[in-house]
Homo-oligomer: A and B are copies of this chain.
Amino acid sequence: MKNGKKQTRLSGVERTDQIYSVAAQMICERGFDATSMSDIADAVGITKAGVYHFIPSKKELLFAIMSYGMDTLEAVVIKPAREIADAEERLRAIITSHSMLIARSSNDEGHSPVTILVEEELGLSPAHRRKLRQRKRVYVDLIRSTLEEMKAEGKLKDVDVTAAAFSLLGMILWVARWFRPDGKLSREQVAEEICKIAFGGLLQIQANGKRKNTEQTE
């Protein structure tokens, strides 16, 4: 009686792709440290030594996965946004596409290469960390400069641009932690709500004369 698992021999590129994709999924679900190379090998259906035939080291594997996540972010969010001339419209596009990207790739307890970008920064070598940080910086700069542009147009409230940029990112990235595909809000609705909150805030504008005081601390 043969084992049900057929031990098909795959071509180099096929196997390599498979390893990356399986590893990505496992690392996203269980964390980098909690995923051993043997685990990955088992899931792929070959031995650990077999895995090392295709990938150089565990750290390179993580770096490759996170780079892929960054590639996705650039392709889906950054590049399309750059082609939008109007700053406000551009910001709206960034919030929408990024939120939806994260919501798309987050199932229960599991994350995706796009979300590991945030979670697994440890475990990278300093050189790798530096490379990814630089790519992230470019993205933050895009958001910041977009806000700056809006400020110049008089479209932005009197808020600190850095704090605003990171607050936006916080709202967006946090989606990975609470969004559930089977919940009452769809991906599109989540993106829409975040846009509403980011642009308009929570407080209802008072119709009558007495304005809401947003400044008070005491």
Using a CB–CB cutoff of 8 Å, the interface residues on chain A facing chain B are: 30-31, 33-34, 88, 92, 96, 119, 122-123, 147, 150, 154-157, 159-160, 162-164, 166-167, 169-175, 177-178, 184-185, 189-190, 192-205, 212, 214-217
Query: For residue A164, which residues in chain B have a CB less than 8 angstroms away from its CB?
Result: 193, 197, 202
With the chains together, A124 CA to B175 CA distance in Å?
22
Query: For residue A171, which residues in chain B have a CB less than 8 angstroms away from its CB?
Result: 167, 170-171
Secondary structure class of chain A's binding surface, majority of residues = helix
A188 CB, min distance to chain B CBs, angstroms: 8
With the chains together, A38 CA to B177 CA distance in Å?
33
Query: For residue A159, which residues in chain B have a CB less than 8 angstroms away from its CB?
Result: 193, 196-197, 202
Query: For residue A31, which residues in chain B have a CB less than 8 angstroms away from its CB?
Result: 33, 122-123
Cβ-defined contact, A203 with B193, below 8 A: no
Choice from B34, B96, B122 contacting A217 with Cβ under 8 Å: B96
With the chains together, A199 CA to B174 CA distance in Å?
19
Choice from B174, B189, B200 contacting A174 with Cβ under 8 Å: B174
Choice from B172, B199, B205, B217 contacting A202 with Cβ under 8 Å: B199
A86 CB, min distance to chain B CBs, angstroms: 12
Select from chain B the residue with minimum beta-carbon distance to A206: B155
A177 CB, min distance to chain B CBs, angstroms: 8
Cβ-defined contact, A175 with B185, below 8 A: no
